[in-house]
């Protein structure tokens, strides 16, 4: 079975072979990260799902992401954005993600799977010193119990399995 990084390797390699994107793909199923092509005719656009990490306020949430690899990938980072609302200091209301790896610290040696793993890690370990949402970062730093309570409520409201219609989740539970 092909995965997201293999599809882009085929696209950017010397061969004209295109990865067949008919089935759902798992990026890192053991880490709760799944990917699928949005359209099997265009490997530039993918959908991802990250399962909220255990022992975090996001536990068991199903967070949908859009992944766009531009024509210069892997020499420039993919554009990854949350589609599911999330209460997090490093993720804006419109889904933008503040993560150095997706900006100035990107390297062609990195992969989309590694970027998704870093995003999953950010859920477990927010960086309130470099926030996109200042008031959420302040709550994280000064009232962690209230932050966790609100993040759990948002997870239940916006990222519950009952709310998720993505078959990446249902096929890979």
Can you tell me the distance from the alpha carbon of 46 to that of 4, in angstroms, rounded to the nearest whole number?
Answer: 8
Q: Which of 2, 7, 19, 98 is catalytic?
A: 98
Distance from C-alpha of 67 to C-alpha of 119, rounded to nearest angstrom? 12
Sign of the torsion angle spanned by Cα atoms 160, 161, 167, 172: positive
Catalytic status, residue 98: yes
Using alpha carbons, list the distances in angstroms from residue 64 to 18, 84, 95, 143, 150. 25, 5, 10, 27, 19
Give the E-state strand segments of 14-148 in sequence order.
25-28, 33-39, 42-51, 62-68, 79-82
End-to-end CA distance of the chain: 18
List residues with catalytic annotation.
98
């Amino acid at each position: 079975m092909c995965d997201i990084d293999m599809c882009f390797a085929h696209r950017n390699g010397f061969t004209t072979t295109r990865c067949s994107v008919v089935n759902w793909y798992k990026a890192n199923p053991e880490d709760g990260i799944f990917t699928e092509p949005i359209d099997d005719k265009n490997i530039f656009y993918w959908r991802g799902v990250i399962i909220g990490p255990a022992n975090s306020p996001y536990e068991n949430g199903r967070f949908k992401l859009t992944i766009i690899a531009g024509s210069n990938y892997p020499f420039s980072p993919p554009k990854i954005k949350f589609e599911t609302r999330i209460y997090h200091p490093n993720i804006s209301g419109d889904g933008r993600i503040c993560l150095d790896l997706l900006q100035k610290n990107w390297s062609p040696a990195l992969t989309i799977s590694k970027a998704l793993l870093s995003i999953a890690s950010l859920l477990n370990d927010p960086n309130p010193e470099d926030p996109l949402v200042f008031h959420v970062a302040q709550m994280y730093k000064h009232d962690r119990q209230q932050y966790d309570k609100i993040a759990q409520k948002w997870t239940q409201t916006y990222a519950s399995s009952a709310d998720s219609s993505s078959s990446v989740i249902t096929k890979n539970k």
